[in-house]
A = this chain, B = another copy of it.
Amino acid sequence: MSERDVAEAIAIDAETRTHGHGDHKDELRLWLRLLTCTNLIEAEIRSRLRERFNVTLPRFDLMAQLEKAPDGMTLGELSRRMMVSAGNVTGLVDRLVQDGLLERHAAPADRRSSLVKLTAKGHESFATMAEAHGDWIGDFFNQLDDGDMGELMRLLGRTKASVRRAMEQSDEQGNEE
């Protein structure tokens, strides 16, 4: 064993002892719990939306975006806000228009774009669903007190910032110049 090898072994051992790392066990457990928790809630919302309103979660999410935009929104804007691909939005919008919940208009200034907005039926339908949805979420977090909720908000904010930083750094690695 060379001196360099010995030094390395000691360094690794020191890191293992002090931080328990080299692996990323704690981080993996935390990620697993975060994922499980979110999936649990999301699956329940999905299931209730289907059972009680015969609607999918993506359709509900799209309608929620439009509810906040009385003058309508382009497909590109929807795609960015929902964080899904443009092609995905095309299909969702088509099906919602089919159901009479949305209407498409030519965009006044740009012939590439169209504006979509909720119809009266769409607004009405969304209002009913949104109220139930709000109640469900209220129930789900019912056992957390205000302190827990605030702390969770704070920690998730830190987590999001940490992830974005990690993503930016790996972008820099990947891109020349």
Contacts and interface: CB of A to CB of B under 8 A. Distances in A.
Contacts of A9: none
A134 B166 contact: no
A33 B153 contact: yes
Given A141-B162, A166-B142, A157 B33 contact: yes
Which label, helix, strand, loop or mixed, suits the secondary structure of the A interface?
helix
Contacts of A140: 27, 31, 159, 162-163, 166
- Residue of A40, A163, A169 contacting most chain B CB atoms (<10 Å): A163
Contact of A141 (B31, B137, B139, B157): B31
Copy number in the complex reads 2
Nearest to A29: B153
A143 B161 contact: yes
A interface, size bucket? 35 or more
Contacts of A158: 143-144, 148
Interface stretch (A18-26, A91-99, A103-111, A117-125): A18-26
Interface string A141-177: 1111010110111011111111111110110000000
B39 A83 contact: yes
Nearest to A157: B33
Contacts of A156: 30, 33-34, 37, 152
B38 A34 contact: yes
Given A24-B134, A33-B160, A140-B162, 7 more contacts: A27-B140, A31-B140, A33-B153, A34-B37, A44-B167, A141-B159, A155-B155
Q: Which 3 A-B pairs have the closest CB atoms?
A: A143-B162, A24-B138, A38-B38
